[in-house]
Every structure is written in C-alpha cells, then in structure tokens.
Amino acid sequence: MHMADALLSPTVGTTLWAGTAAVSGYASMKLRERIDDRIIPLMGVLGAFIFAAQMINFTIPGTGSSGHLGGGMILAIILGPHAAFLVMASVLMVQALFFADGGLLALGCNIWNLGVYPCYLVYPLIYKPLTGNSKNPGRILVASVASVVIALQLGAFSVVMETLLSGKSELPFGAFILLMQPIHLAIGLIEGVVTAGIINHVRSARPELLDSIAASRPLDTAISLRKVMVTFAVLAVITGGALSWFASTYPDGLEWSIEKVYGKGELPEDEHGIAAKLKGIQEKTAFFPDYNLKSAGKEPKKAEATPAWPGIDAGTSAAGIIGAAIVLALILLIGMGIRTFRGRNA
Amino acid sequence: MTFDSLYFDIGRLDRLSYRDTFVHRLDPRIKVIAAILFLFTVISFPKYEVVALVPFFLFPALIMTIGDIPVPFILRKVLLVSPFAVLIGIFNPLLDATTVAVIYGIPVSAGFLSFLSILLKFALTVSAALLLIATTSFPAVCHALRRLGFPAIFVTQLLFLYRYLFVLMEEAMRIIRARDMRSFGTRGTEIKVFARLIGTLLFRTVDRAERIYHAMLSRGFMGDIPSLRKYHITTIDLAYLAMTIVFLVIFRFFRVTEGIGRIAQELFR
C-alpha cells in the first residue's frame, strides 16, 4: 500500500515530508546520544535483510496464494524504535528509487505510514506493554498480531486520508475506507503471525541476539516515551494546521474525492465486483451531483475540460489534442536526432 | 522466476549509473534538486489537466538520450509498476461520468480526463525517479543527501544497506533454491517453515554485521564514511539547473501545447 506521486497534491506531499524529516532528525539525534557505532552497520545490513526476506514467499493458509514479509515491526523489535525507523525510511527510499514503488514525493507519506506508526506509536504503546519482559511465545504472538494489525490499520487509514486530501481520485470516503481497512486487517493478521513466528524462533535459537541488541540500544522508555508523545503532539498540530489550510482552500476536495493506493500484490483479483459495488455505494451517497463542475470551475485551465464551463470554445479541445500530438512528435524527433547525431560522431 | 528478473534489473540500473556521459557527470546534488523540482511541477497540475502535461516528457526523453539510457529498459520498468496506477485511476471514469467535452463527436467524461491525467503523471514521476538513479550512482545520491543536510547516521547506514542489498539477495536466492529442491508444490512454504528460514537468514545477517563492524573498526571506522571523490558544483551544473527551472516555469505557466495546436490549425485551415 505504497502511496504514489501521481495521486498526491504538492501540499499533502510537502506536509508529510516535513513531518517525516522532523522524525528522522529526532531519531538520528537519539541514536547519536547513545552512539555505539556497532549499530550503524547492523542497521544497514538489516535493511538489506528486509529486501532479501521479501524475496522468500510463504503460503497463506487456506488460500494457496503467497505472501511476503513487510518488516516494520520486526525491525522495531530487534533494533528499537529509533534505529528501526531510520532503517524503514531507507528501505522505502530504495524501493522508491529502484523499484519505482511509490515515488520520491510520496516517500514522505510512505515513511510516515509504514515507519512512524510501527516504530513510534505501536512499538512503545502496544508491543512493549503487551510483552513486558516476558519470553512466553503465546504473549509474543498476541502482542505481535495486535501490533502489526494496528500499525497496518493506521497506515491504511493514512493512505485514505492522504489520498482524500489530495483530491485526485473519485472514490468516496466511506467506500474507500471499506476497501482499504478490511484488506489490511487480513494482511495484518497474517503478517502478525509470521512476525511472532520469527521472533519466537530467534528467542528459542539465539536468545542472546535479542537481548544483546536490546542492551546496546536506548531503552529509557519512560522518558523517551514522553518525549515521543510531545513530538507527536507538535507534529499533529503542524500537520493538522497545514492540512486544514489546504482543506479550506479546496473545500470541495474534502467531501468526495479520494484517490487511492494499494500495494501491487495486495489487491484481490475480483476488482469487477468491487468496482460494481463501489459504483452502487457512490450512487447512494452522491450528495453533490454537480461536484466535478465546482472544482473544475475553479481551475479552468485544462484545455479539454474547459468547454464544459463558461466560455465554451469548440476549438480549444481540438487545439489541445493537436498541440499534444505535435509536442510528442517534437520530443521524439529531438531524442532520435541527438542519438543519430551522436552515433555519427562516435 | 520473477524475483530473478527483479534482482537483475537492480544490477542493471546500478551499472547504468556508472556510465560516463554529460548527465552522469553533473553534480549529484544538482540532479536531485532538478528531479524534485520536476516532480513538484508535474504533480502541481490540477486533476483534470492532460494536455499541458505532455511537454514534460521532454525532460525524461532528453535525459534518456543524452545519458544514453536504453529506452525499452526504462519503459519496461514503468510498465511493470503501472497496473497499480491503472487500478487507482480506473475508478475515476466510473465515478465521475459527467460529460465535459465532445471532441470530434466522441463524448469525453471528466473522470476519463482525471484518469488520463493520473496516468500521465504516473509515467512522468516514475520515469523521473528511475532516470535519477540510472544517471547517478547510489553512493553519489547518498553523498548528495549528506551534503543537502540529511543526518550522517541515516546516510551511512543507507550506504551499508545498498552495499549489502546484493549480497543478501543472493543469500536469499540460495535459500529459496535449497527449499525448492527439497520440496514439492506448496510444501515447504508454510508459515512455520518460512519463519525459520527468515530466522536463519536473520542470524546470518546479524553475524555478518558483526564481522563487517570488526573489519571496519580495524580500518579506522569512526561512524562516518567519507567520500574520496570530491564533487564541485560548476558553472555547467548551475546552467543545467537554471535551464531546468526555465523549462519547468514555461511549461507550467504558459499553455504552450494548446498554442502550438492553434497555430497548426491556423496553418492548415
């Protein structure tokens, strides 16, 4: 469920980037305080580990389809929140650059959705209290499942909100939520079980591994937790402020338009059914039959769209199409021209 | 196997980034900034914009040509992730069916325009990001991030991540191969086995990190990886950035495409 550049408005992208940058700065600062260089190569190699682990698939019980590891919670459990957050940010950055998964501007959103929630909210507030210092596999299972599910639900909800506030797709809020949350509940349950399985295996085979890394990481939970909460409150205010400004600039964008994002493999194949259902829901919830006219009236720039609004000019849309064709031809010519020219010189 | 191709693609992108062309020689900071400005300009267009987005393909086209990047390779990578953008956008024509224009007798709905707009933006943003990494080596990108103010710890472990990405992916390939040779069908892919495989991979990873750390300590590691190659921002870099900005401003704020279309209509009337 990576957010994509194409679905993002600059305001939402920048706001989330600002939030992510602030958290990254905070995480780096916390790590520097405690500096034990040992953790730097470990962080990097564990980031690579997440990619490698994602290559190995497993069968989801009862379905026969295969799943892959997400990784945020495992990192938090092994490395602690600060280091885990930075590793998660790196993993997402490499995915954005090399796999074109998400995008560079959407990276802020993705780090927020998949990094901040598991590392800074769920790990200290759900996982730690639930496990305590217990080594009981059952407790670890319960804690892992609860943590992963909650982290993914928060992430999925954020994708909905980010898409909604960007206003580039037409999915209504309710339907979008209904689409996103249950899918991620299922993913979360499975990933939680897998996470618990791995942690329990590590616990039984190499218990010193979890403990030794735990010992060399900042564990002043009481104090740092409060600081984290303060940071969060500040970020929430900043985010809220920026977003509400955005919302009031485009009030119509809020009510109805949504765009969305799923991870590639995460969407069930029967999208015909979903699309049909969505359409039904949309028809029932169409408060503003004229909504597209409103927003478009405010941005009367697009050539082909313009005719629908005041000042219809029959020639405009045709001019747009012809112009686009010519520009594309020019781009091709320039590209091929340079290649031929260089080929001759070489 | 799909992951094989995924893996080799990464290697290819990496090799491309070490070529020596005009684009590759530009300062990585300048390239990162130019790419971000480009992305911002593209996504700043309103949701129904289609025509004005077209000229922006000049940017990736020029980089591909001058940087000598194989076009089919980039196209294939863009297509590989496109099902995702198509899925998201496909709802627009269904949900926003108001007809906003009739072009040569074909009614065009608002949702179709916004869908098309999403697709164009998708192609532009994805190719811009891929081309950034195809023309700039990842260590150079990390170096640029460091110089642009990213925290040292973050950049250093990012370098480690990249260095060991290839090593660990090969390790994972060996694990998968070993598992596949010992099992039939879906046997051996149960969650229980999976957890143990991952656990083993994790042990190997942590042990490797430990060895790396000791090896680096003995070579004087102080928590930072300095780059021997010094980058300087030259007049050429600044000229490139300036041209990019002029290009972006012109095509963002002036309706060039439509103008060209009108002129063409006048000429052939």
Name the minimum distance, in Å, from the CA of A18 to any CA of chain B. 13
Directed axis angle between helix A81-98 and helix A39-55, to 10°?
50
B239 belongs to a structural domain? yes
Query: Is pLDDT at A79 greater than 80 in this prediction?
Result: yes
Full-model pTM: 0.75
Q: Three-state SS for B9?
A: helix
Residue B268 lies in a domain: no
Element (H, E) at A64: none
Residues B163 and B131 in one domain: no
* B131 and B161 housed in the same domain: no
CA distances from B99 to A13, B51, B53, B265 (A): 30, 17, 21, 25
Indicate whether B267 belongs to any domain: no
Query: B47, A55: Cβ pair inside 8 Å?
Result: no
pLDDT at A274: 44
CB contact under 8 A, B84 and A171: no
Among residues A3, A14, A2, the alpha carbon closest in space to that of A243 is found at: A14
**pLDDT of A298 over the 80 cut:** no
Of B39, B54, B192, Cβ closest to residue A327: B54
Whether pLDDT at A286 is above 60: no
Same domain, B213 and B240: no
Check whether B105 has a pLDDT greater than 50. yes
More confident residue, B100 or A106: A106
**Mutation site, A74, A78, A302, A316, interface B, largest B CB count within 10 A:** A302
Q: What is the overall mean pLDDT for chain A? A: 70
Best B33, B44, B51, B116 residue to mutate vs chain A (most A CBs within 10 Å): B51
**A119 near A81, Cβ under 8 Å?**
yes
CB B114 within 8 A of CB B47: yes
Tokens representing residue B60 in the block: 């990736």
Residue with tokens 């980039």: B74
Measured between beta carbons, which residues in chain B are less than 8 angstroms from residue A279? 94-95
Establish if B28 belongs to a structural domain: yes
Distance CA A320, CA A305 (A): 10
Contacts (Cβ under 8 Å, ≥6 apart) of A277:
A175
| Inter-chain touch A279–B95, beta carbons under 8 Å | yes
pLDDT in tens, A142-155: 888 999 998 888 88
pLDDT at A212: 58
B69 in a domain, yes or no? Answer: yes
In a domain, B269, yes or no: no
Q: Mind telling me how many Å the CA of A223 is from chain B's nearest CA? A: 23
Query: Who among B102, B128, B212 is closest to A41 (CB)?
Result: B212
Nearest CA in chain A to B54: A324
- Between residues A240 and B40, the one the model is more confident about: B40
pLDDT at residue number B34: 92
High-pLDDT (> 70) share of chain A, %: 63
- Facing residue for A6 by CB, picked from B91, B118, B201: B118
Residue pair A334/B58 in contact by the 8 Å Cβ criterion: yes
Question: Are B103 and B235 members of one domain?
Answer: yes
Subunit contact A264:B83, Cβ cutoff 8 A: yes
Contact present, B247 and B59 (Cβ < 8 Å): yes
The per-residue pLDDT for range A186-218, each reduced to its tens digit, is 888 888 888 888 888 888 888 777 765 555 444
State whether B41 and B55 are in the same domain.
yes
Confidence of residue B186 (pLDDT cuts 50, 70, 90): low
Q: Across the interface, do B161 and A47 touch by the CB < 8 Å criterion?
A: yes
pLDDT of residue B6: 57
Residues of chain B found within 8 Å of residue A98, distances taken between Cβ atoms: 10, 13, 133
Q: Which domain holds residue B236?
A: 1-137+230-258
The confidence band for B23, taking pLDDT boundaries of 50, 70 and 90, is confident
A67 - beta bridge partners?
A58
Contact B81 A47 (CB under 8 A): no
- CB atoms closer than 10 angstroms to residue B49: 22
Q: If you average pLDDT over residues B143-164, what whole number do you get?
A: 86
Claim to verify: residue B26 and residue B61 sit in the same structural domain: yes
Q: B48 and B131 share a domain? A: yes
Question: Do the chains contact at B7 and A55, CB–CB below 8 Å?
Answer: yes
For B161, name the nearest residue in chain A, comparing CA atoms only. Answer: A44
Maximum Cα–Cα distance for chain A, whole Å?
75
In a domain, B144, yes or no: no
Interface test with A, best of B9, B194, B263 (most A CBs within 10 A): B194
ipTM above 0.85, yes or no: no
Indicate the residue of B58, B158, B195 with minimum beta-carbon distance to A194.
B195
Query: Does residue A233 carry a pLDDT above 60?
Result: no
Mean pLDDT of B108-125: 86
B159 shares a domain with B217: yes
Number of domains composing chain B: 2
In this prediction, residue A279 has a pLDDT band, given cuts at 50, 70 and 90, of: very low
Q: Which of A230-234, B37-41, B179-183 is modeled with the greatest confidence?
A: B37-41
In total, the C-beta contacts within 8 angstroms joining chain A to chain B are 407
Q: Which tops the pLDDT comparison, A207 or B130?
A: B130
Instruction: Measure in Å the smallest separation between the Cα of B30 and chain A Cα atoms.
Output: 16
- The pLDDT of residue B84: 63
Residue of B nearest to A65 (CA): B186
Q: What is the pLDDT of residue A35?
A: 58
**C-alpha to C-alpha distance for A73 and A126, rounded to whole angstroms:** 11
Residues B236 and B201 grouped into a single domain = no
B contact test, residue of A1, A31, A45 with most B CBs within 10 A: A45
Least confident among A18-27, A289-298, B58-67? A289-298
- The distance of B258 to chain A (nearest Cα, Å) reads 4
pLDDT band, residue B177 (cuts 50/70/90): confident
Q: Name the residue among B13, B129, B265 with its Cβ closest to that of A96.
A: B129
Buried b / exposed e across A15-40, counting CB within 10 Å, b at 16+?
bbbebbbebbebbbebbeeeeebbbb
The reported pLDDT for the residue numbered A221 is 41
Take residue A237 and report the two structure tokens written for it. 């205010």
**pLDDT mean over A95-110:** 82
Q: What are the DSSP calls for A162-183, one per residue?
A: HHHHHT-SB--HHHHHHHHHHH
Name chain A contacts of B66, Cβ cutoff 8 Å. Answer: 338
Q: Is residue B266 part of a domain?
A: no
User: Are B57 and A328 in contact (CB < 8 Å)?
Assistant: yes
Q: Smallest CA–CA separation between B57 and chain A, in Å?
A: 7
If asked whether residues B64 and B121 sit together in one domain, one would say: yes
pLDDT at residue A236 is higher than 60: no
**Residue B109 pLDDT class (50, 70, 90 cuts):** confident
- pLDDT category at A157 given cuts 50, 70, 90 is confident
pLDDT at B255: 80
Is the pLDDT at A171 greater than 80, yes or no? no
- Are B24 and B122 members of one domain? yes
Q: Are residues B222 and B244 in the same domain?
A: no
